[in-house]
Chain A
Amino acid sequence: MKKYLAVIVILIITSFMFIIGIDFVFGAPANSDMDDYFIEHGQEQIATNNIVTTVVFDYRGFDTLGESTVLFTAVIGVAMMFRKLGEGD
């Protein structure tokens, strides 16, 4: 019974994926206002040729701050754990 249930769930999810894959056209977003703004104004506002870096470090700079804080916290956690394991050092 459990096996059949798993197969049915997998079939439903797979058919869902296929429907999405057939219906959607990738690379043609419905709302592209924000993308167009970044591409048009990135070079004059931030003076950068690399639009991706402009978005990551300037328009979404706060997000990158959180990202580097997450990395910092992860490193602190590893250091704490293994420092206790090693006793001293």
Chain B
Amino acid sequence: MRMSKIVRTGSDLMYPFIFIFGWYVIMHGHLTPGGGFQGGAVVATGAALVIVAYSYQEVNAMIKKAILMFQESGGLVLFIGAGLAGMILGFPFFYNWLANSGSLFGMSVIPGPNPGELNTAGFLPLMNIAVGTEVWGGLTIVILYMLSGVEKEGI
């Protein structure tokens, strides 16, 4: 069942900002409070807003559950893969092999309080992106599957 036009217009205005705020929290996980779990939950909240404002049927026709499932699995595989990549290069499992390397996310940090730089922290941003992708896809698919069960009951 669709909500009224006022609710739908409001959610249309709100959801891009919620998504972008969630992606910001994920991307700046190594600089500001928050990280993959929190940012992914914020993005899933935006998806929940769209699902509430429009009906389950309309949202289900727009996105495929298989894509979200793939996204969730891909996040976990990226997480483990980033940990395993260090073993190929000769480091222990989960060693931060990108920190202070000078390549991607490899800048050093001046000790002491400072505002920080996005291009630091080694593989922590990769981990944040992986966990954020997983949490976002996972929570969205949980909402969709639960609503599919409710719909079958005839409510």
Q: Which residues of A contact B (CB under 8 A)?
A: 43-50, 52-54, 56-58, 61-62, 64-65, 67-69, 71-72, 74-75, 78-79, 81-83, 85-87, 89
Contact = CB atoms under 8 A, between A and B. Distances in A.
Given A49-B114, A64-B127, A78-B142, A86 B152 contact: yes
B149 A85 contact: yes
Contacts of B73: 72
Given A50-B31, A64-B131, A82-B145, A72 B152 contact: no
A60 B100 CA distance: 19
Contacts, number: 116
Q: Is the interface of A mostly helix, strand, loop or mixed?
A: helix
B47 interface: no
A86 B120 contact: no
Interface in B81-133: 83, 94, 96, 99-100, 106-112, 114-116, 120-122, 124, 127-128, 131
